[in-house]
Amino acid sequence: MPIFAHTAKFSADKKQLWNWYNSDGAFRRIMPEWEGIKPINAGRLVDGEETIFKVKLGPFRQKWVARHHSVVSGESFADRMIKGPFGAWNHNHKFESDSDGTTSVIDNVEYKLPLHIFTGWSAGFTVLPRMKQMFEFRSVRVANDLKQIQLTAELPRQKILVSGSTGMIGLQLCAFLEAAGHDVHRLLRPSTKLPTDVDSSKVIVWNDITGEIIDGDMNGFDTVIHLAGAGIGDKRWSKKRLKLIRDSRIIPTQNLSKLLAGLDNPPTRMLCSSAIGYYGNRGTEVLDESSSSGDDMLAELCRDWEKSSNAAKESGINVIHIRTGIVVSPLGGALAKLLLPAKMGAGGPVGGGKQMQSWISLDDEIYAIHHLLMKDDAEGAYNLTAPTPVSQKQFAKTLGKVLRRPAFAPLPGFVIKLLFGKMGQKLVLEGQDVRPNRLLESGYEFTHPELESCLRSCLGKFKL
């Protein structure tokens, strides 16, 4: 059978690397963002365990079942495709210690395409480019995760409760926290459907509107991370939608804060979601955490959102507000909506393109949250945005460059208003130039300080 080979070197010993691969969060972390893979079961590194997921093949999804075999703990493992899109697939992973204290992971994949005798000739342009990008992503993601984990390796691991754990940020945050060795639990509503690859025994169920705990105990957590809230850009803003956006943030945060304040054994800190909408539409004015709040509807929402955690703060819990910008990932949010028109060459400037976009990669969002929860002296508000905001025109141009598509066809602002109403006006045609000054002063180093590197990583467009 044909063999695809890949070797990557990591600044970690074999034990650290093996522990990362064998963690509960590793499989979700290692899946490329652009592939649209849906994990179903993440098997541990034990003979006979199965990893199951669905992978996109054009407009369809096909189930892939891989069974682990030939596992030598700390040294090597392999997985063979039992069911899936290939004619055959057997993937061997070998961990080798290098003389300079690093560790190499050597991947060898034996594969056959379906009807290989007829289709094998096409692998060079149908399969191998995709595999090269996938393995490059995996190597970079593992290296970046290990770097962040090593920065706090001497600090105790924490017991962490996360709300909003099934959202785009929450899923990847929980996976990284698990890979980093933390004990992660999820705060869910009764109607929330937990992904099947997640440990369903580590949950607390509550009614976020009444504040009633239905199942579980909130005592004994070191940190609570509160991310829950209805998607602000998911649907056109009707009066009903605006009420849901507000109520899903203010009411649960008030209830959670009161619950935590009344515990016998409360958490030390609480990280609460907020957004750079706090600053309002400010054009090209450079903003940081010391800047005043804005005077529009989103600014008012963010102010009230942050105030709704006062009960926890007044009880002595250290409340940290994370004012997040545009999280860049094809898994959701703004980029997911932009990709199709951009791939069709229609991703030019919108409404003139001068509005500033303060963005952050999904990885930096996650790493920054971990950085803040591990710092005893972190307090107050932090902007979670990359240090290099861009205009909407620059964003479109960079996306076009990464995708190798033209990005000059303009889209007038009135079209956005017609299509999306007030939501389009506030989220697309307005903007802010927000800088993460306090985050940088706290010692955080960005993985993706520049937009192009972020887009190449999350879209599988590495320069190999």
**Residue 318 DSSP SS3:** strand
Question: Are residue 255 and residue 137 in the same domain, yes or no?
Answer: no
Alpha-carbon gap, residue 52 to 328, rounded angstroms: 27
Whole-number pLDDT of residue 27: 94
Question: Are residue 40 and residue 142 in the same domain, yes or no?
Answer: yes
Whole-number pLDDT of residue 342: 85
Question: Are residue 170 and residue 24 in the same domain, yes or no?
Answer: no
Question: Are residue 118 and residue 253 in the same domain, yes or no?
Answer: no
Summarised one tens digit per residue, pLDDT across range 7-39 is 999 999 999 999 999 999 999 999 999 988 999
Mean pLDDT in order along the chain per 10 residues (464 residues): 94 94 94 91 94 85 95 96 95 94 95 87 88 95 96 96 95 96 96 90 95 96 94 83 91 97 97 96 93 93 96 97 95 85 83 91 98 96 98 93 88 76 77 96 97 96 90
Question: Are residue 136 and residue 272 in the same domain, yes or no?
Answer: no
- 464 in a domain, yes or no? no
Whole-number pLDDT of residue 87: 93
Question: Are residue 98 and residue 190 in the same domain, yes or no?
Answer: no
Whole-number pLDDT of residue 338: 83
Tell me which of 90, 125, 151 is where a domain ends: 151
Whole-number pLDDT of residue 238: 85
Specify the CATH number for the domain of residue 66: 3.30.530.20
Looking at the structure of the chain, the number of domains it has is 2
Tell me which of 129, 151, 173 is where a domain ends: 151
**CB 328 within 8 Å of CB 360:** yes
Whole-number pLDDT of residue 346: 79
Whole-number pLDDT of residue 60: 78
Tell me which of 151, 175, 200 is where a domain ends: 151
Question: Are residue 220 and residue 339 in the same domain, yes or no?
Answer: yes
Residue 316 belongs to what domain range?
159-459
Question: Are residue 117 and residue 206 in the same domain, yes or no?
Answer: no
Specify the CATH number for the domain of residue 202: 3.40.50.720
**CB 25 within 8 Å of CB 177:** yes
Specify whether the backbone of 221 is left (phi greater than 0), alpha (psi in -120 to 50) or beta.
beta
- 367 in a domain, yes or no? yes
Question: Are residue 117 and residue 189 in the same domain, yes or no?
Answer: no
**Residue 415 DSSP SS3:** helix
**Which of 194, 234, 229, 224 lies closest to 209, judged by CA?**
229
Question: Are residue 72 and residue 167 in the same domain, yes or no?
Answer: no
- 31 in a domain, yes or no? yes
**CB 52 within 8 Å of CB 64:** yes
Question: Are residue 218 and residue 145 in the same domain, yes or no?
Answer: no
**Which of 325, 334, 328, 357 lies closest to 439, judged by CA?**
325
Whole-number pLDDT of residue 333: 84
- 77 in a domain, yes or no? yes
Question: Are residue 115 and residue 191 in the same domain, yes or no?
Answer: no
